[in-house]
Structure 1
Amino acid sequence: MLARLAATATVAAALVLPVAVAVPVAMQPVTPGTVTATRPLPPEHLIPGSASGTAITYRTLGPHDRPALSTGAVFVPPGEPPPGGWPVISWAHGAVGIADSCAPTVSGRIGGPYLGRWLAQGYAIVATDYVGLGTDGLHPYLDGRSEAFAVIDVVRAARAVEPDLSDRWVALGQSQGGQAVMVAATLAESHAPELDHRGTVALGVPSNIENLAVLGGPLFPALPLQGTTVFIAYALAGLRATDPGVDVNSYLSARGEEVLAQVGELCYEQAAAAVGATSIGALFSRQVDEPLLRALREMLAIPIRGYEQPLFLGQGLFDTVVPAPLTFALAKDLTAAGQRFTFRVYPQGHLETMLASEHEAHEFARNVLVR
């Protein structure tokens, strides 16, 4: 009898206490910034001039502020750290794709000579892949809050791996990463008060896109821009995967469904070659309405208040990916909201602005990190 009771109790316990590894990440207790795995990066993936490079998997918050995992990397310059440790640059990359193979820590395309020159200034570099790039689920492209949390939490994670890192940090982002660091700037103090966030450099920021979403539909006008169809498809694919309450498929044409399937497997260059000739209007079967518009606003909108630390905003006048008028509108809104920031324009295109702004961005970072 006792044996039968013991066996029954064992079975019951097994039914109510599932094995820990079987619990989905979204249901587990989460401390953002907790490191769950590390691995050394191969030499060919290191930022030029780095003394070491480590890939990390860490806990953060994904869409709708739900617990999620992200991957990223931490790079340390050579030599002895200064008193207080190496100040940190948290790098947020531009669009690479939404498939796991596109993650910079997988492809090795983490920053190259550009970040190498930041490293040479005496900074440790931490670089998030963002949620869903190299971790479970599809990457929610241009979901500002999840990108922002990944940018902040990778600093926490990197400091757990490399004890010689300071708590002083600056966020640096370009294109998609420009959106990520601007949202991160408004969340940094409340989300990670133990860190000393000193400022933000945001370049080629895709802003005010949510204000164009109302035009979404079969009659969407042709735009003289680069990559727009791919970027729209990435955003729709990510939204479809992370917000089942919005029936994204109901807005898609047959061609739109094909494109979303393609871009879910291709990194940016391949996706642009495969679907770049497809118009935005061809993605849709009907005009977008409030459910989708509301979800896009929540994903895409960049705050115009809440910038407690210095902000450097850079824009190319000849940018055909993120057109200058959208950034001028952002600058106007920030000014009207009473935000103080540095705004610089350059007679350059999208990627070229990242290089053209380099000297001023370095000077900005030096000034905010020594105050």
Structure 2
Amino acid sequence: MSRSSRLVAVVAALALVLSVAAATTASAKVRTGPAGLAFYTPPKPLPGHRHGDAIWAKAAHGGVVVPGSSATELVLYRSQDAHGANVPVSGVISIPKGRAPRGGWPVITWAHGTTGIADACAPSRDDGRPAHAYNSYVYPLLSSWLKAGYAVVRTDYEGLGTPYDHQYLNGRAEGSGVLDIVRAARQVDPRLSKNIIISGHSQGGHAALFAAALASRYTPELKVKGTVAFAPASHLDEQIPLTTGLTTPNPGLSALIATIGYGLHAAYPDRVDLASFLSPEGVQLALKTQSTCLSQLTADAQGVAPAALFQPGADLGPIARLLDLNDPSHLVIRTPVLLEQGTADTTVFPVFTDQLASELRHNGTDGRLYYRKLDGVDHGGIVVAGAKPATTWIEQRLPG
């Protein structure tokens, strides 16, 4: 080897050492969190200075680890609730295998679908029960993204796993958590870049759209290259009043109504009294959301018709207005959006996603909104059937 070649090799090795040292130093600034459930309760006052600051982190094991990651960490970080108050939020960071590209790993921030709103339902607490099936169905998709060279971060959302009640389907709270975990993850592992894709399914599709609309003013340093929303929840203000006429038992729908009711109460305790619109049976089921995940809640609702959950003649106007306030149909999103919807979906009905696509275009997303409908695909199947085209769409906007 010539002298000049040896010099180049030495400089390259020194640069590698310095980059590793810098990464170690930056990562060392994030405190290691305590073991067990103590991880989810931060010191008081809440540490950090701005939303997205990491409070602490630790290595993750078991059911939360997505196959294909080189490292997985739990993180607790600062975020904001529906009213802008600072709150702790938990989540998971998954790092691809191999060496980070120049500029760092691009990031996909994933917003999960409904698991329930009890703390045990948080994806970062997944130990194989009770909500594992509601988390692991997306692991093949997330694994494919890790293999493609994207870091994947997953928020639990505000109040899910951590102190306070989860403000279910509250766009402001969800969107904040989806964005803030990227800030926190970049503190935990400085190899992550500012270039991001936002994505989610069902409740998470709803959250992803709110995050996309919020990003430019909430986390302006992050470069949102696009948003993929699989069967996003929308137009609940139109649907919930219709369920008062459904007298045939439907445990899945009844469980969701109870979850929506308690989520509204959590976000607006001074405006939403459960007993003002829910029957005693409805209140009882709504209160169970605090201790059971969606699978058990659905089992508890066997034989329960949606109509039985409501007070006869209850005025649902105030509830509908709050649901509409948190509907993605009003959002203005200036970055590319891909909506994917199955035609056989009986949880998020295609007609409402059709309507949402039209409304988002009208709001200013026209030219940047892409809408794909997949024939015969149901609610859970959309993340499988839509995985390949969604990944191609992402790669066109965020090369790995």
C-alpha separation between the residues in 1 aligned to 2:249 and 2:361? 28
SS of 1:65's partner is coil
Q: Is the 8 A contact 1:248 1:292 kept in 2?
A: no
Give the letter for the 1:31 counterpart.
R
Shift of 1:44: 4.5
Corresponding residue number in structure 2 for 1:327: 353
Give the letter for the 1:190 counterpart.
R
Q: Is the 8 A contact 2:48 2:54 kept in 1?
A: no
1:178-216 deviation digits (Å, cap 9, x = unpaired): 000011111111100111111100001111111234446
Question: Equivalent of 1:314, from 315, 340, 344?
Answer: 340
Question: Equivalent of 1:345, from 370, 373, 382?
Answer: 373
Does the alignment pair 1:173 with 2:192? no
TM-score for the superposition, normalised by structure 2: 0.81
Q: How does 1:138-177 map to 2 (within 5 A)?
A: 138-177=165-204
C-alpha separation between the residues in 2 aligned to 1:159 and 1:201? 22
Q: Percent identity?
A: 34
Q: How does 1:23-102 map to 2 (within 5 A)?
A: 23=45, 31-102=50-121
Q: How does 1:163-312 map to 2 (within 5 A)?
A: 163-215=190-242, 219-221=244-246, 227-246=252-271, 247-286=273-312, 287-299=314-326, 301-312=327-338
SS of 2:161's partner is coil
Shift of 1:119: 0.6
1:192-248 deviation digits (Å, cap 9, x = unpaired): 0111111100001111111234446xx433589872221121111122233221222
Does the alignment pair 1:355 with 2:380? no
1:136-175 deviation digits (Å, cap 9, x = unpaired): 1121111111111100001111001011001000011001
Give the letter for the 1:69 counterpart.
P
C-alpha separation between the residues in 1 aligned to 2:247 and 2:114? 21
My pick for the range that moved more, 290-299 or 353-362, is 290-299
C-alpha separation between the residues in 2 aligned to 1:78 and 1:97? 32
SS of 1:91's partner is strand
Cα distance change on mapping 1:274 and 1:296 into 2, 3 Å:
same
Q: Is the 8 A contact 1:88 1:169 kept in 2?
A: yes
Cα distance change on mapping 1:236 and 1:44 into 2, 3 Å:
closer
1:18-57 deviation digits (Å, cap 9, x = unpaired): xx9555x5xx885110111212101553110100000001
Corresponding residue number in structure 2 for 1:8: none
1:48-92 deviation digits (Å, cap 9, x = unpaired): 010000000111111222211110011101110001000000011
- Which runs of no fewer than 5 residues in structure 1 stay unpaired? 1-19
TM-score for the superposition, normalised by structure 1: 0.88
Corresponding residue number in structure 1 for 2:396: 367
Question: Equivalent of 1:104, from 103, 107, 123?
Answer: 123
Q: Is the 8 A contact 1:252 1:283 kept in 2?
A: yes
My pick for the range that moved more, 257-266 or 282-291, is 282-291
C-alpha separation between the residues in 2 aligned to 1:114 and 1:334? 26
Cα distance change on mapping 1:168 and 1:21 into 2, 3 Å:
closer
Shift of 1:249: 2.1
Give the letter for the 1:320 counterpart.
T
My pick for the range that moved more, 355-364 or 58-67, is 58-67
Give the letter for the 2:266 counterpart.
A
- Which runs of no fewer than 5 residues in structure 2 stay unpaired? 1-41
Q: How does 1:6-25 map to 2 (within 5 A)?
A: 23=45
C-alpha separation between the residues in 1 aligned to 2:253 and 2:89? 26
C-alpha separation between the residues in 2 aligned to 1:303 and 1:194? 26
SS of 2:381's partner is helix
SS of 1:72's partner is strand
SS of 2:299's partner is helix
Q: Is the 8 A contact 1:53 1:74 kept in 2?
A: yes
C-alpha separation between the residues in 2 aligned to 1:313 and 1:223? 32
Corresponding residue number in structure 2 for 1:130: 157
Cα distance change on mapping 1:223 and 1:349 into 2, 3 Å:
farther
C-alpha separation between the residues in 2 aligned to 1:354 and 1:91? 12
Cα distance change on mapping 1:338 and 1:63 into 2, 3 Å:
closer
Aligned length: 346
Cα distance change on mapping 1:21 and 1:78 into 2, 3 Å:
closer
C-alpha separation between the residues in 1 aligned to 2:364 and 2:267? 34
Cα distance change on mapping 1:309 and 1:67 into 2, 3 Å:
same
